Amino acid sequence: MKIKRIGVIYGGKSSEREISLKTGTAIAKALKEEYYSVILLDSGKADFVKKILKSKIDFAFIALHGPGGEDGSMQGFLETLDIPYNGCGVLASAVSMDKIYSKKIFEYENIPTPEWYVISLNTPFLDSRFSFPVIVKPARQGSAIGINIARKKTELKRAIKEALKYDSEVIIEQYIEGKEVTVAILGDRALTPIEIIPKNEFYDFYSKYSAGGSEHLVPARLSDKISKKAMEIGLRAHKSLGCKAVSRIDMIIDKRNNIYVLEVNTIPGMTNTSLLPDAAKYEGISFGKLLKNIIYYSLNEKI
C-alpha cells in the first residue's frame, strides 16, 4: 500500500496529554523529513472528527498515551472509518492497557509477573496480602501516573486512595527489588534490552519525561544468557496479548536474575527521553527509519 498522506493523532484528553503533544510533534517532524505529507490532528479538540473526515489521510499514526488512545477506542474509531493505523488492534490495545486482564493472560501463558491482587471502589480496604513494600497502581493508566510504593499500612491506605482518583480498580503488586529493564519489540523481533536507572525511587512520571530524570544503559548490564532470556520473554508477552508491529515490555530482574514482566506498552513514547528510539538507535535504526518500519509492519508489508 502506497502511503502518501499521514495524520498524526495526538493530544487527547487523558492525563498524559502533554506527553502526547510532545510525542506527536516529534513524529510529525520526522515523518516530514521522510518526505510524507503530514497533518497533525488533536483528538482532544471539539473539531477532531470534522477535521479527520476532511483530512483525506490514507494512514493514521496514533501518538496518544493512556485512556482514549492506547486502550483500543481510537483504534476502533479508525477501523470504522477504514483508515489503517500503526501498531496493535482494538483487542490487543484494550487488554494491554488493562493491567488486570494482561496479568491474567501472563499467568495463563506462564509468563512470570509479580504477585498481585485487586482493590476496587466497592471493595472494603484489606490489609496487604504480601510483606511490605508493595506497589499500588491504577488498573488502566500509563506513564506511571497514580503509582506509589507503600512500605507500611498507613502508606498503603494513602496510595490506594491516590490510585482510585485515576481508576475504579487498583492493583496491589508485590514489590521486587532489582534492575528495571525494558525490551522493545519491532516487527517480529526483540531489540536489545535497556536498563533504566531512575533518579527517583522507581521509574515514575518524572523519571520518564524529565531531562536527566533517568539514565538509559544500552545494552543493559546483563549477561548474554539473561539478556537473551529477557528478549525471549518480552516477545512472548507481546505475542500473548496479540500485539502487532511495535510494543515495549517493562520488566524487573531481581538479584537472582529472575525476570518479571510488569506491563506491555502498545504506544511507546517518542520524545527525546523515550526508550524505544534509544533501543532502535543502538540497533542502527534512525528515528525516521523506525517510524517507517512501524508503518510497514502495521500494514503487514515487508521492509
Residues annotated catalytic, as ranges: 16, 143, 209, 248, 250, 263, 265, 269
Tracing cell 491506605 back to the chain, one arrives at 157
Backbone angles phi, psi at 130, to 5 degrees: -115, 165
Across 121-233, where does the E strand assignment appear?
Answer: 134-138, 148-150, 169-174, 178-186, 189-190, 194-198, 214-217
Instruction: Report the C-alpha gap between 169 and 165 in whole angstroms.
Output: 10
Instruction: Report the C-alpha gap between 157 and 136 in whole angstroms.
Output: 10
Question: What would the DSSP string read from start to end of 215-237?
Answer: EEESS-S--HHHHHHHHHHHHHH
Buried/exposed 159-174: b ≥16 CB within 10 Å, e otherwise: bbeebbebbebbbbbb
Q: By three-state DSSP, how is residue 96 classified?
A: helix
Q: By three-state DSSP, how is residue 103 classified?
A: helix
